[in-house]
Amino acid sequence: MTVYSRITGTGSYLPEKVLTNRDLEQFVDTSDEWIFSRTGIRQRHIAADGENTSDLALVASRRALEAAGLEPKDIDLLIVATTTADMVFPSTACLLQAKLGIANCPAFDMQAVCSGFVYALSTADHLVKSGQYRHALIVGAEVYSRILDWKDRGTCVLFGDGAGAVVLSRSKHPGILASRLHADGRYAHILSVPGSVSRGEVCGRPLLQMEGNAVFKLAVKVLGEVAHETLAAAGLAKSELDWLIPHQANIRIIQATAKKLGLSMERVIATVDRHANTSAASVPLALDEAARDGRIKPGQHVMLEGVGGGFTWGAVLLRW
């Protein structure tokens, strides 16, 4: 019997504190008009002091489990996609595993920056289809507010904190239809946090830096290419795609990708205006919103896309 995997539950969490563009005007040389016209962002959520990535992931995970009708003990594979781990080690996945009260299942982090959730979902899909695992919990969670230079108006206005999660379960019916992943380390310099810890001291600059124009151009190019590649792998035409859920980095990138797929923005899930760029959390956050408000209907085809530092990019095509 052929084994498939399907998403059976989604969940998300956004920290309580909201930082609007107007709030940023008080301490950054910028304006609401400047930020919104270039990015589509109006606000972002900021984690409270002492609120770590695993804490955000925990709430999103519990909500996904509830939606799937499962208990933590039912999970036999756990993957957390994050760039902002709680600590050097152990992994955020292991910390989340303990908070959920799960024991003995494999748990590990996936580091592909803003493509992390797509990478993790694709990996989990292959592992579930192997027949070894029945229910996988895949989480994208980030606390980007702690790796930003809040004096750099070109980057600090772009990001926010949050978490999204899905339960991926073994199924007799196709759910995930195809996925494609890519990376090109030659572009590592255009988006990075070039810091590390050595002998108890921070080496380098542990704050985000980005060449905005270069990132924009490469993101638009690769997102269009990988979407077509993934559709072809599944044997579907562009016209058969019902929803696009891209990484929520910039509304202009989202619009350009939709145009390359021949999609109107009415068929694109966009949350960047309220969430900003939450890196690996952005796709599952948007997916959870669309799943819960009923926009995504059973049987529809949904494309998830991520692109981020590395440079990494990828897509997952699924039937809801």
The residues annotated with a catalytic role in the active site are: 114, 247, 277
Contact 260, 140 (CB under 8 A): no
Q: How far is CA 42 from CA 177, 187, 261, 273, 297, in A?
A: 34, 29, 26, 5, 28
Comparing CA positions, the residue from 111, 122, 148, 74 lying closest to residue 312 is 111
Q: Is 225 exposed, middle or buried (0-12, 13-18, 19+ CB in 10 A)?
A: middle
Report strand pairing: 301-308 vs 243-246: parallel
Give the CA distances from residue 313 to residues 39, 85, 177, 215, 232, in Å, rounded to whole numbers and listed in that order: 20, 20, 18, 12, 17
The pair of structure tokens assigned to 201 is 């001291």
Distance between the two ends of the chain, CA-based, in angstroms? 21
